[in-house]
């Protein structure tokens, strides 16, 4: 921890920073002394996070990660404000309505792909361009995968497909980033208590057709895990981490 809340000289950018996991991670990074660019579609939640952080090291950047020009503008502001980027947490993500696969509309499919996958690619691409040209060279990218990067929930084809694709993106960034001293890892999260996941505490469909209430964990535990991954020297990388509510129905049958 950073008891004096002083700057550690490092700069992070967090997407989807206005709510949920992104908010928890952004606040944890601010407490650790990072300067943090808060990226999200709505400026009001970003400003609230910046205010809650209680420091002038937070920068709210309303951004649509699915739009190349919006991403480019956000990263240009990071370079202008902070001069470098040490960490990208690719976290922004959405799901589609939980309907039968054959009933998903093209618009619902493309919205999830555009934000979850294309958005992560665009932000990683912009981060690499910054990291390879800065001195000292390098940095770290952490992608938010999901338990869905391993196994689907019922009626989740768009979300699950993108999260499997994130694993491929993580591996490609890890390989292609080596020559620039850029490390890339992935955190796969299961049942953190956020606005998006709150429905699981009320009962969600299971693979056998039943509805069941699932155990949850505090989002702070996820934030602490991301901070740990970020704290490692660039010579060391957590390639994949799975963090989950211990008793959630993931390991095993059913």
Q: Which of the following is catalytic: 157, 159, 186, 229?
A: 159
Q: 190: how many CB neighbours lie within 10 A of its CB?
A: 24
Q: 37: how many CB neighbours lie within 10 A of its CB?
A: 27
Q: What is the DSSP string of the chain?
A: --TT----S-EEEEETTTSHHHHHHHHHHHHTT-EEEEEES-HHHHHHHHHHHTSTTEEEEE--TTSHHHHHHHHHHHHHHHS---EEEE-------S--GGG--HHHHHHHIIIIIIHHHHHHHHHHHHHHHSSS--EEEEEE--GGGTSPPTT-HHHHHHHHHHHHHHHHHHHHHGGGTEEEEEEEEE-EESTTTGGGGT-EE-TTS-EE----EEHHHHHHHHHHHHHS-TT----EEEEE-TTSTTSS--
Q: 127: how many CB neighbours lie within 10 A of its CB?
A: 26
* Active site (annotated) includes residue 159: yes
Alpha-carbon Rg of the chain, whole angstroms? 18
What is the C-alpha separation between 184 and 192, in angstroms, rounded?
22
What is the C-alpha separation between 254 and 249, in angstroms, rounded?
7
Active site residues: 159
């Amino acid at each position: 921890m950073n008891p004096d809340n002083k700057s550690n000289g490092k700069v992070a950018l967090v997407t989807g920073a206005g709510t949920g996991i992104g908010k928890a991670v952004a606040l944890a990074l601010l407490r650790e002394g990072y300067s943090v660019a808060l990226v999200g579609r709505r400026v009001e939640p970003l400003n609230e996070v910046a205010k809650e952080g209680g420091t002038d090291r937070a920068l709210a950047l309303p951004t649509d990660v699915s739009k190349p020009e919006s991403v480019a503008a956000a990263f240009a502001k990071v370079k202008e404000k902070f001069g470098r980027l040490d960490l990208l947490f690719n976290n922004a993500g959405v799901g589609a309505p939980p309907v039968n696969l054959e009933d998903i509309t093209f618009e619902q499919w493309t919205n999830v792909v555009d934000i979850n996958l294309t958005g992560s690619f665009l932000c990683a691409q912009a981060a690499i361009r910054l990291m390879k040209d800065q001195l000292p060279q390098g940095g770290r990218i952490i992608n938010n995968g999901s338990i869905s990067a391993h196994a689907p929930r019922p009626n989740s084809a768009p979300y699950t497909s993108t999260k499997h694709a994130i694993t491929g993106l993580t591996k490609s960034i890890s390989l292609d980033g080596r020559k620039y001293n850029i490390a890339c890892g992935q955190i796969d999260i299961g049942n953190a208590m956020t606005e998006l996941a709150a429905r699981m505490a009320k009962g969600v469909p299971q693979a056998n057709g039943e509805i069941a209430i699932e155990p949850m964990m505090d989002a702070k535990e996820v934030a602490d895990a991301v901070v740990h991954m970020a704290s490692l020297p660039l010579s060391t990388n957590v390639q994949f981490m799975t963090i989950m509510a211990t008793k959630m129905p993931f390991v095993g049958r059913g």
